[in-house]
């Protein structure tokens, strides 16, 4: 069975480095051949291209812009009344993806507005379907794959709209504290990795966790996995 392919989420790992572009080289030095990012739009696009080229890593996934994080946004795909903002964000994401040779964009659904019950969010589903249809037509022309990600509403984000699983890109973090996979928690990742191998999973496994300390020091679990598959 072929080994799994891991990519470093640079929005979560190597945060000890203040400049986002510095994290490309650190990921490469740690052994990663691919990276992903939640949001990278504060970084200069030319500098991102330079960092990618110099590090030699592949960018395999970026998110659409979140909207106004300070005002509670976390994506706009399913938020009624924000369709124009979603489309502008999608245009920006496509620009970055093409410049970085990234073939996947996560289309963020967003949060249920305060005061609205989840059971009463039928309008959000209609909005999400409309925006996904629009995005699918745009991405098809660009040769980019659009992905959706359900988020754990019990622990991670109680108000996130999309909370049911779909087949696609996989990301990992220990439960409940979202630290390294080998940290104390509820999930046996060795078992899950073996299961993914048996299933023949060929996509990337994104490392989207919060390091307990220095990122490099917490990668023992990954070095152990790589060594066992040499």
9-30 confidence digits (pLDDT tens): 999 999 999 999 999 999 999 9
The encoded tokens of residue 152 equal 């754990």
Task: Give the confidence band of 160 by pLDDT, cuts at 50, 70, 90.
Answer: confident
| Domain co-membership, 72 together with 16 | yes
Catalytic residues: 149, 208
**pLDDT above 70 covers what percent of the chain?**
94
Q: In the prediction, which pLDDT does 167 show?
A: 47
Q: In the prediction, which pLDDT does 72 show?
A: 85
| Domain co-membership, 16 together with 107 | yes
Note the pTM of the prediction, 2 decimals.
0.88
Q: Which residue has the higher pLDDT, 163 or 15?
A: 15
Q: What is the DSSP string of 32-74?
A: -SEEEES--TTS-HHHHHHHHHHHT-EEEEEEPP---GGGT-S
Distance CA 158, CA 149 (A): 14
| Domain co-membership, 73 together with 146 | yes
- Helical H segments across the chain, by residue range: 22-29, 45-55, 83-99, 122-142, 189-199, 220-228
Give the residue from 113, 137, 164 where a domain finishes.
164
Residue 54: give the domain boundaries.
8-164
Give the residue from 164, 181, 200 where a domain finishes.
164
In a domain, 3, yes or no: no
Quote the DSSP letter at residue 104: E
In a domain, 2, yes or no: no
Asked if 225 and 1 count as a contact pair (C-beta separation under 8 A), the reply is no
The torsion defined by the Cα of 8, 12, 13 and 14, in degrees rounded to 10, comes to 130
In a domain, 77, yes or no: yes
| Domain co-membership, 180 together with 95 | no
- What is the CATH classification number for the domain harbouring 70? 3.20.20.150
Mean pLDDT, range 37-66, rounded to an integer: 97
Contacts of residue 124, defined as CB under 8 A and 6 or more positions apart, other chains included, come to 78, 79, 80, 112, 161
In a domain, 92, yes or no: yes
Would the pLDDT of 168 be above 80? Answer: no
| Domain co-membership, 42 together with 148 | yes
In a domain, 118, yes or no: yes
In a domain, 1, yes or no: no
| Domain co-membership, 112 together with 211 | no
| Domain co-membership, 129 together with 213 | no
Task: Give the confidence band of 93 by pLDDT, cuts at 50, 70, 90.
Answer: very high
Contacts of residue 108, defined as CB under 8 A and 6 or more positions apart, other chains included, come to 63, 64, 66, 74, 75, 76, 77, 149
| Domain co-membership, 159 together with 173 | no
Q: In the prediction, which pLDDT does 92 show?
A: 98
| Domain co-membership, 66 together with 133 | yes
Q: Which of 56-65, 95-104, 132-141, 149-158 has the lowest mean pLDDT?
A: 149-158
| Domain co-membership, 112 together with 176 | no
Number of structural domains the chain divides into: 2
In a domain, 145, yes or no: yes
| Domain co-membership, 47 together with 149 | yes
Cis, peptide link before residue 176, omega less than 30° from 0: yes
In a domain, 151, yes or no: yes
Give tens-digit pLDDT for 95-108.
999 999 999 999 99
| Domain co-membership, 113 together with 76 | yes
Mean pLDDT, range 124-137, rounded to an integer: 94
């Amino acid at each position: 069975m072929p080994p799994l392919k891991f990519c470093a989420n640079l929005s979560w790992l190597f945060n000890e480095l203040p400049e986002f572009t510095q994290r490309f080289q650190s990921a490469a030095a740690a052994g990663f051949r691919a990276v992903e990012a939640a949001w990278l739009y504060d970084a200069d696009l030319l500098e991102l291209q330079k960092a990618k080229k110099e590090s030699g890593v592949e960018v395999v996934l970026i998110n659409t812009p979140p909207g106004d994080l300070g005002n509670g946004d976390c994506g706009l795909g399913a938020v009624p009344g924000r369709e124009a903002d979603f489309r502008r964000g999608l245009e920006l994401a496509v620009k970055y993806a093409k410049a970085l040779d990234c073939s996947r964009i996560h289309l963020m659904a967003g949060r249920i507005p305060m005061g609205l019950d989840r059971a009463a969010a039928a309008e959000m589903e209609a909005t999400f379907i409309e925006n996904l249809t629009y995005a699918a037509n745009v991405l098809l022309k660009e040769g980019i794959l659009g992905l959706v990600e359900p988020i754990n509403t019990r622990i991670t984000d109680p108000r996130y709209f999309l909370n049911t699983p779909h087949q696609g890109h996989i990301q990992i973090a220990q439960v409940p504290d979202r630290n390294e996979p080998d940290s104390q928690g509820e999930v046996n990742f060795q078992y899950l990795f073996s299961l993914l191998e048996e299933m023949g999973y060929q996509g990337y496994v994104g490392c989207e966790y919060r390091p307990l300390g220095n990122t490099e020091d917490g990668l023992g679990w990954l070095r152990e996995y790589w060594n066992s598959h040499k």
